[in-house]
Chain A
Amino acid sequence: MKSVLKLLILLGVLNSCQNDFLDEDLDVIITPENFYKTEKEAEVGIFGLYHQLSRKDLYGWYLSMSVDMGTDIAFYGGKFGDTFDIFSNYKNISSSIGNLPRTWNEAYQTIHAANLIIENLPKNATFSQVKQDRFLAEARFVRAVSYLVLSRLYGEVPLVKGVLTLDELGIPRADLAELYQFMIEDLNFAKEHIPWLSELQQGGRASKNAVLGVLTRVYLTMAGAPLNDASKWALAASTSKELIDTDYHDLHENYNQVFLNARDDVYDFTESIWEIEYTKGEPDFGSRIGTFNGIKSFKGPNGEKASDVGGGSGLVRATANIRKIYGEDGVGYNPDIVDSRYHWNCPAYRFDGTQVPRMNPDGTVKTSLRDFIVSSYRKEISNGIYTPNQTGVNAIALRYADVLLMYAEAENEVNGAGRNALANESLAKIRRRAFKTYEVKWALEGAVTNEDDGFNFDYSGLSQEDFRNLIRDERARELPGEGLRRWDLLRWRLLYGNVSDLIGEEPEGEAWGNIQPHNVLYPIPQREIDLNPLLTQNPGY
């Protein structure tokens, strides 16, 4: 019996594991519950939010490039039948298409990431309230930006205000008014707690300047369709004016240099207020900007395969319509057009080690639609090491030219023909630069040699209506390829009309032949409706 006892003791010894034998070792993971304690940790968390925004279906691809396709300025020049083709020609858009929900997913993922910080940081932080508020403000800024994306793309969407438990997921779509109110609250908080860019000196993070710009965008969107809340025009005018009044910003001397700077990672806060940053050669956070939408390239300077050295695919193509807006006849490339932005944005060459015109088999230069490329981020071949498709080109998320135009537009809506001189000057400033002399054209054509003389840049005499139309065209000329056109057309209630007008006019009419009135909103992903029966589908899907 003794030996039995001995053995039992032995078993006991072997088994006398600590009480925490089954506890999970939390020291080996990072969870929101044990993070954001120090300022450094909080900052690492906030950088995670910007990383989210840089992902493919937000600024990494969709918001910076794809969203212009399927408007009246650009279409997809790649293979028919793939997802981009759908963005472009509205063919087969249905709620069950696998790809469409991805912006939905990534926007909500970003919102969730922001909510994790907003909820956990105050609980865990061991640093000053002022600094905490600053991080919270950045999180709320990112959250507002994400909701702006969602509401413009899908209309009414579920409003997730905090981290939801699995039992709390069954929520319906929120009113647009409620959604926008939520964004405004977030942005107002952000405005209060985030420093000015002049102090911050970081273009990749939210500054008060960026907050004001986004707030202006929100107000403009609310003032337009479908909310048509006219009271917001004045607010838009006031927030954009606040930014203009800082006198911190100005337009860069040369239009094209803004994009070359973004390409070369040169920060110029005067014009570029907020950028989504990418780093070349980094598969995790390199971008496809300038590659997907850049100049079609076949070879690198040393004969390499273009896509292996970061050459462009030229897949975002210019419509005849945008060339018409620039003042050409809609048939072909016109070297006589004096708006320098036309030559920068709608070039008609490809890159083959050097710039060469695209040729037909019979030896004539191609002038068909497919050869013009909306390529504000013109990037033939960048130097340095690139993984294919992973460039360091930043996405410009807010640019001073946009602020000026937003101000001019809002002011015109508030005061009509009696708009102030600043509004007129805001537009004039942009146009003056566009018609300035500098070399933007491709080498084969030589430089544009215009003089300022032919234009007086005085818009004070224009009626409200004429000024409005001028602003609308000017936004197309100034901001193509920056992911803004679709949202502009939506708030002007012109998306369906302008795009369906292209049918028959464009040589490749098929690309626009499918838009239906209901396509102005994307369908709510079917998967989401299946999982949450409280969600309703947008009409027409």
Chain B
Amino acid sequence: MKGKKTKIIGLLGCLLFNILIIQAQTKTITGIITDKEENQPLLGVNVLVKGTSTGTITDFDGNYSVKASVGDILVVSYIGMIEQEVPVGNQNIINVALEPDMNNLEEVIVIGYGTYKKADIVGAVSTVKTEEVTQAPVANLEEALQGRMAGVRITNFNNEPGGEVDILIRGGTSLGGNNAPLYVVDGFPLGTTEVGSTINPEDIETIQVLKDASSTAIYGARGANGVILITTKSGKEGKASIDYKHVSGMQGIVSGYPEMLNLAEFASYQYDVKPGAFTNREEFIANYLSDKEEVNWIDRIFRTALFRNNDISVSGGNSETKYRASLSFINQGGVIKNSNAKRVTGRINLAQKVGDKLELKLNASYSLKESEGANNGEPDRLFQRILETPPFVPDNYFGSIFDEDEDDITFKNPEVQLFAIKSVRRSKNLNVSANIIYELAKGLTAEVQLGNIETDTEQRTVSLPTEIGGVALATNGQVRIRNDKKRRWVNENLLRYNTVFNKKHNLTALLGNSQQSETVDRVTVTNRNFPILNESIINNIGLGTNALSPSSLYRKETLQSYFGRLDYNFKSKYYITATYRADGASQFAEGNKWAYFPSIAGSWRLSNEPFIKNISAISNMKLRVSFGNTGNLRINPYDSFAILSPNRFGINNEIVSAAVPVTLGNKGLKWETTRQLDIGFELGLYKNKIQLEADYYKKKTTDLLLDANISAHSGFGRVFENIGSIQNEGLEFSISTKNINNKNFSWTTNFNISFNRNKVLDLARGQESFFISRSLSGGGTENSLERIQAYIVKRGFPVGSMFGYVWDGIYNYDSFDRTGPNSYTVKQNIPVPLRGAQPGDIRYKDLNGDGIISSADRTVIGNSNPIHFGGIMNRFKYKNLELSAFFEWSYGNDVLNAARYQLEKLDSRRNQYTTVKNRFVPRVEDENGVLIDPGFTDTEFFGAGGNQDLFYSDRVIEDGSYLRLKTLNLSYSFSKELLQKINLSSASVFVGAQNLWTLTNYSGADPDANTDRAADRGLIKGVDRGAYPTSTTISAGIRIKY
């Protein structure tokens, strides 16, 4: 009781004293804040009286006016400038010249569950400034990140507008499909597709990529593939500002794809495949051409598409409330006719301080994405399908071509197909999260975060009877509606503590727990046999009279975690960080649910040692080492169980339910674990005008989760298993330099390069290797032979090794003895396949020397991993004009040009690349052996019409190295004087281009394509089944800030 009274009296006393002081000595201080280097007044600089909520911002001329008292300290801060503190003395005018923050070491870096100054970061973290990224209009964030960060490799599945990308951080750790990193947006974990479709790049403040174990182990079981942290923009103290950006542009496919045979050339090729009754090529061609009209399918299908992006945001706040709200509209036409995509995103970020100790944050975002267009069901090889269609208008509207003597060979008329299947996809996403942060005691804060994300995706597809080979004609139209509802809630509870004792020892501690639950609900309904056959049935599914059985799916997964981190540094010289996380996941069977992920790291800031401090050239020098474990839990719920799936069956013409086993189940499934060592070195020279960061890492992943091959006599060919181990080892360098920095002209360069080596160390059950089969045609009719063992996973070799025959030209006449008119037998000692060889047949190397070309002669023929990859960004600034050029490359990776395998196959009615004009054409003799046609034999290109090319070989493995001018931007900022008159704080106009130029020897449409999307795609990389060629985008826009 007594203590309480004293406290109150003391408090009152203080208050009174304060009021007296304030009343006595408050005065108005004015001044101008300028940029020291450019000697220009700065607009919007924060001037704050330290320890109070009193403050202001500067106007157009850099003027400010603030009330302060003698003894106060003014804090002057501005983004990109070094913050300055000026004590208030007797003067009434305080002018401050801010220095640009050249050494961005004071920059705040977000890492898992915390923020640190860059200088204090112990782990390997890459940062991307979004202003660089958002200069070019991008709908997809990840695509914009391509080449920006060392150690982060991004490849396109397809250059389809808005297509997905594949991100690998420091090589794949998992053999299973999913090597995607974990995304955390404002502390809330998001899935890859959620990030791609819901985050508006304009809303992003920073992107940090956590790469080493020290920084990722705090994410435990989800950290093995790296973590991408995205922080969205929040409001800043100061008056409200409105930011508006508009970009318009156009997109068209680059003519980088190989040329196809024209109709006359195609006819000549058809003569070689199947001459029919003709014995004379010219007659055949003339007859073939007589009833056909030539067509160029590419021109008929593709167009130059327009797009518009509009972004508007408003932000502001005071010392207690900060807010930012934004809205964005994207409207993008597809380069394929009859397709387009729209996206609306909105976001509100609010932060409210309640008293001194409590802070509330609320982030909410909503997105609506709607795309519609032809869904050909095979987006991976849509382009190839178009190319391979014979270059003439088909016999009938649908595109079928009949052949009475053979099977019907049916090509879909690609143009008709565009309208035969129409698919509308709507995806809604609502993400709300709230944080309560409370200061419990000095240095000790508690934070509770609750978040919820809901994604509803609806896909309505209507197939009209014009779809050839599909279901619709016989069924009189089909409508399928699929609804996916995904919901995830996350709760995280954190305690943070930091303290400094003896002014030398800095200690930060974090303790937390988290739980999350995710459910997926899916319903599909299909109806057929419609009385009306137009697109309207998409909304009238009930009109159909032949409903298929509906299907539903529900699954749930939960994750529970406990974690902690301890950071200690001595005099900002010696740093040590330890983290620990325990994760429990529902996907694993009893006994295997929990896994533990520790890490430890240390760093030494040499530049804070006296012996380095004296070297004036060195402004920063740091050495860091980390070691730790992370995991991967990406298996599906219930993978440890054998599952029976409902099916139907007819007994006595009555449809009955049937339960069919669909998975084997594996109760022994456990976590995949990655152990990683990282050694990093950072160096800043000449006031950080040159900054270098180098990292060496070595990762070993054990208990790999893989949908692994098992003996089929188990009942299934595959099961999810923990098999073997792989290793990734690599080097990363990034260098940024400020080459020239004058008042009127500046030039900066950012450069990064990464090397990763990947190796399979061990496989399950002592296996030496296993194959990954793929249908190279992609269509993969189950009866085709084209399901080829194209890739191998082999101990000691990298993942993504191609496997096959070694091409050795063709069997030309010199390999044969002539045994009669048009009759040849292969000479002794020339290796041939068991079935023999004819002149013009493709030839492979007999590697084992047994005289027979057989499957034993296959070997590793390619490696889809690059030797190195990276990017280089150059920015030039001349007065108000700024030019930036960003190049991105990959070197030494092989690509399996599966499209070429198909389009240089010479065995069918498919149209082919013009390269086949060089094909072998055999000599023809009459029955007396007199040469009547010399053919064309002086070539290495095999002849037409055979099944000689059943195998694939290194003939279609190509070097996929490329250097691409990814973005080129030119912008002009209007001068402040001019803008002042119209009350704007800044305005700029810009023009930009993407994918303007590519240097490559690759013969296909795009070297940077991996069209394989199967679940085990992690094992087969660099497959190009005829991807869309890269789209070139040209755009122009304006940005205005009020």
A residues with a Cβ closer than 8 A to B are: 1, 3-4, 7, 10-11, 14-15, 17, 21-26, 28-33, 35, 41, 43-45, 47-48, 50-52, 54, 56, 78-84, 86, 91-92, 94-99, 101-102, 104-105, 108-109, 111-113, 115-116, 157-158, 160, 163-164, 166, 169-171, 201-205, 265, 267, 277-279, 281-285, 298, 304-305, 307-310, 313, 315, 358, 361, 370, 385-388, 392, 514, 525-528, 530-532
Residues of B within 8 A of A112 (CB): 661, 664, 714-716
Q: Which of B529, B710, B834 contacts A169 (CB 8 A)?
A: B710
Residues of A within 8 A of B558 (CB): 21-22
Query: Does the CB pair A82–B529 fall under 8 Å?
Result: no
Closest Cβ of chain B to A518, distance in Å, is 12
Query: Does the CB pair B783–A29 fall under 8 Å?
Result: no
Q: List 21 A-B contacts (CB under 8 A).
A: A17-B560, A23-B586, A29-B638, A30-B644, A35-B659, A44-B658, A48-B644, A83-B784, A94-B854, A109-B661, A112-B661, A112-B716, A158-B713, A203-B652, A281-B475, A282-B548, A283-B471, A305-B473, A387-B475, A527-B709, A530-B771
Query: Does the CB pair A204–B651 fall under 8 Å?
Result: yes
Q: Which of A83, A308, A387 contacts B785 (CB 8 A)?
A: A83
Residues of A within 8 A of B585 (CB): 22
Residues of A within 8 A of B637 (CB): 24
Q: Is B719 among interface residues, defined by CB-CB distance under 8 A?
A: yes
Query: Does the CB pair B440–A7 fall under 8 Å?
Result: yes
Question: What's the Cα separation between A316 and B555 when bound, in Å?
Answer: 45
Query: Does the CB pair A388–B713 fall under 8 Å?
Result: no
Question: Most chain-A Cβ atoms within 10 A of its Cβ — which of B493, B584, B644?
Answer: B644
Q: Is B770 among interface residues, defined by CB-CB distance under 8 A?
A: yes
Q: Is B482 among interface residues, defined by CB-CB distance under 8 A?
A: no
| Identity of the chain A residue whose Cβ is nearest the Cβ of B593 in the assembled complex | A22
What 0/1 readout, one digit per residue, does chain B (482-506) give for beta carbons within 8 Å of chain A? 0000000001010100000000000
Question: What's the Cα separation between A313 and B785 when bound, in Å?
Answer: 20
Question: What's the Cα separation between A97 and B645 when bound, in Å?
Answer: 30
Residues of A within 8 A of B765 (CB): 170, 531
Query: Does the CB pair B408–A202 fall under 8 Å?
Result: no
Question: What's the Cα separation between A22 and B592 when bound, in Å?
Answer: 11
Query: Does the CB pair B444–A4 fall under 8 Å?
Result: yes
- Stretch of B129-137, B398-406, B670-678 that contacts chain A: B398-406
Residues of B within 8 A of A15 (CB): 491, 493, 513, 515
Question: What's the Cα separation between A315 and B407 when bound, in Å?
Answer: 8
Query: Does the CB pair B651–A108 fall under 8 Å?
Result: no
Extra pairs beyond A31-B665, A95-B855 (11, CB < 8 Å): A11-B446, A22-B558, A47-B649, A48-B659, A78-B406, A80-B947, A97-B785, A111-B713, A166-B721, A385-B529, A528-B713
Question: What's the Cα separation between A61 and B829 when bound, in Å?
Answer: 42
Closest Cβ of chain B to A312, distance in Å, is 11
Residues of A within 8 A of B471 (CB): 283, 387-388
Residues of A within 8 A of B950 (CB): 81, 92
Query: Does the CB pair B407–A108 fall under 8 Å?
Result: no
CB contact under 8 A between A94 and B650, given known A28-B556, A52-B660, A82-B784: no
Query: Does the CB pair A31–B641 fall under 8 Å?
Result: yes
Question: Most chain-A Cβ atoms within 10 A of its Cβ — which of B558, B643, B907?
Answer: B558
Within 8 A of A (CB), among B527-586: 528-529, 546, 548, 554-556, 558, 560, 584-586
Residues of A within 8 A of B440 (CB): 3-4, 7
Within 8 A of A (CB), among B397-448: 398, 400, 402, 404-408, 438, 440-441, 444, 446, 448
Q: Is B474 among interface residues, defined by CB-CB distance under 8 A?
A: yes
Residues of A within 8 A of B907 (CB): 81
Question: What's the Cα separation between A133 and B150 when bound, in Å?
Answer: 65
Question: Most chain-A Cβ atoms within 10 A of its Cβ — which of B406, B548, B585, B641?
Answer: B641
What 0/1 readout, one digit per residue, does chain B (153-189) give for beta carbons within 8 Å of chain A? 0000000000000000000000000000000000000
CB contact under 8 A between A98 and B556, given known A79-B406, A109-B716, A387-B474: no
Question: What's the Cα separation between A116 and B655 when bound, in Å?
Answer: 23
Query: Does the CB pair A285–B560 fall under 8 Å?
Result: no
Task: Please provide the 6 A-B residue pairs with the shortest distance between their CB atoms, ordered closest to farther.
Answer: A112-B715, A81-B947, A47-B658, A279-B650, A98-B787, A48-B660
| Identity of the chain A residue whose Cβ is nearest the Cβ of B396 in the assembled complex | A305
Question: What's the Cα separation between A211 and B58 when bound, in Å?
Answer: 95
Residues of B within 8 A of A164 (CB): 713-714
Q: Is B668 among interface residues, defined by CB-CB distance under 8 A?
A: yes
Closest Cβ of chain A to B354, distance in Å, is 14
Residues of A within 8 A of B854 (CB): 94
| Identity of the chain B residue whose Cβ is nearest the Cβ of A4 in the assembled complex | B440
Q: Is B452 among interface residues, defined by CB-CB distance under 8 A?
A: no
CB contact under 8 A between A531 and B658, given known A31-B641, A164-B714: no
Question: What's the Cα separation between A283 and B715 when bound, in Å?
Answer: 23
Q: Is B982 among interface residues, defined by CB-CB distance under 8 A?
A: no
Residues of B within 8 A of A17 (CB): 515, 560
Question: What's the Cα separation between A39 and B891 when bound, in Å?
Answer: 63
Residues of A within 8 A of B438 (CB): 3, 7
Query: Does the CB pair A204–B652 fall under 8 Å?
Result: yes
| Identity of the chain B residue whose Cβ is nearest the Cβ of A112 in the assembled complex | B715
Question: What's the Cα separation between A313 and B406 when bound, in Å?
Answer: 10
Closest Cβ of chain A to B526, distance in Å, is 10
Question: What's the Cα separation between A54 and B408 when bound, in Å?
Answer: 26
Question: What's the Cα separation between A130 and B781 when bound, in Å?
Answer: 45
Query: Does the CB pair A50–B658 fall under 8 Å?
Result: yes
Residues of B within 8 A of A23 (CB): 586
Q: Is B80 among interface residues, defined by CB-CB distance under 8 A?
A: no
Query: Does the CB pair B645–A30 fall under 8 Å?
Result: yes
Query: Does the CB pair A388–B469 fall under 8 Å?
Result: yes
Query: Does the CB pair A32–B661 fall under 8 Å?
Result: yes
Question: What's the Cα separation between A22 and B659 when bound, in Å?
Answer: 27
